Structure 1
């Protein structure tokens, strides 16, 4: 009986760190991400957009916004398109966003569509 309990506790103790490590994989290399400089104009745009942002999770990692400190805001600009503000859990996720912006912008558009009042 004691050996079963001891075995169960050992398995649990070894499993928990491994499971928590899997969640951190999405942020591999992000811990050292340098805070990006923001212009005063962009800072104002980001501040205004924060209250009406449709997602409560990081656009890239799906971690809760604020889980790694204040959510990082970024103004995405593309020629011929309106500027878009995105929020991610950490500065490192901004680089991941820049690699595939269309993929991540679809997530914002879907969230906005869900929260829009029915006509």
Structure 2
């Protein structure tokens, strides 16, 4: 697999971008701003690392963990109101990040195995 071509990692970067920008544009509720901004930036960074070095399996797991944290962030940050747009962005974005990271683990493992000399 070539660098900068994996759609799963581009989706993770997009989710991180949406989370980070949304944190800045929406009214604050609980600790939504620090949670969404931090996790959004970290998702962007993990996605870019995965795009640049597609054989790093550990980074796929990091991306999966960040997505899971984004999903539970509304409860941890006290903004889990069902009518909160920040909570819905966290839940949907976190679920999407977890799914695409899970889909990217097997190809990353295969690429890592091919890169190792036998």
TM-score between the two structures when normalised by the length of structure 1: 0.28
TM-score between the two structures when normalised by the length of structure 2: 0.28
Higher RCO structure, 1 or 2 (CA under 8 Å, sep 6+): 2
Higher radius of gyration, 1 or 2: 1
